[in-house]
Amino acid sequence: MSNRSLIDTDSDRFVIEYLSPVLRQKLNTSPMQWTDLQNECLKEYHEQGGTGDKIRESLKKIPLDSKMIQVCQLLYSKGWVLAIVSDANQVYIEGILEHYGIRNLFSAIITNPAFWDVQGRLHIQRLIPADGIPHGCPSGVCSLNICKGQEVDKLLLRLGNDSQAGGAVESFGHAGVPIRMLYVGDGRNDYCPALRTKSPQDIYFVRKGRSLEKYLNMADAPEIRRAIRARIVYWDKAGEILSELQSTL
């Protein structure tokens, strides 16, 4: 999703803060790898008597702009295939999409695995395990547990390389037309997927005020932005994406 791309908050932080003010402090102080830290917080929450129902309840509280829902519906109606590539987790993403009634619009969700055990505890795992083969991405901005660019490569390969594509709204379309990509992102790890764009026909939607915008516009590294072949559109509210797509698709 990138968390602040499809939704208007960081789902990882939102859930933990909703569950426990004490665990919220742990998010700001622990040196653990982020996905491992999420799993540890949920472990402690369960040990303290926390319930899965409250976790599921928290997912229904996460804000999703109605205009972003319209973006997804518009793309789907025009034959694009929507996918999510996210450093959140499967349970959170599925829960949010199902709550807003748009899970059926997405053909793929690529993220960290998550599951409920028989005791009702939620477990979150890294997509690339700590003892797994490192992804080795040369971009230098990807998380240890996921390279979104490589995941987009795999997705395009599965779709036969004859599709259109896009990002936290990630979209792939009609066979027989040139590949296009629409990618919506906000974090530095959303830079790598944009290196897969091919031309100004692609659109890279970059959320204002987030780390991705700052990374693209570092004064001492103009080559970072020049490496992006897509047309870059900066946005703040989902309505801006909707207006752009209504005028260009």
- Structure-token match 């295939």, residue found: 81
Residue 162 to residues 147, 155, 158, 170, 202, Cα–Cα distance (Å)? 22, 12, 10, 15, 15
- Structure-token match 């599709």, residue found: 163
Q: pLDDT 10s digit of each residue in the chain, 249 long?
A: 456 799 999 999 999 999 998 999 999 899 999 999 999 999 999 999 999 999 999 999 999 999 999 999 999 999 898 999 999 999 999 999 999 999 999 999 999 999 999 999 999 999 999 999 999 998 889 999 999 999 999 988 887 654 444 555 555 544 445 568 899 999 999 999 999 998 999 999 999 999 999 999 998 889 999 999 999 999 999 999 999 999 998
End-to-end CA distance of the chain: 22
CATH fold for domain 2-248? Rossmann fold (3.40.50)
Please tell me whether 131 is known to bind a ligand.
no
Please tell me whether 87 is known to bind a ligand.
yes
Please list, residue by residue across 177-197, b when 16 or more beta carbons sit within 10 angstroms of its beta carbon and e when fewer do.
Answer: eebbbbbbbbbbbbbbbbebb
CA distance 220 to 23: 38
Please tell me whether 153 is known to bind a ligand.
no
Give 94's contacts (C-beta < 8 A, 6+ positions apart): 103, 109
pTM: 0.91
Domain ranges of the chain: 2-248
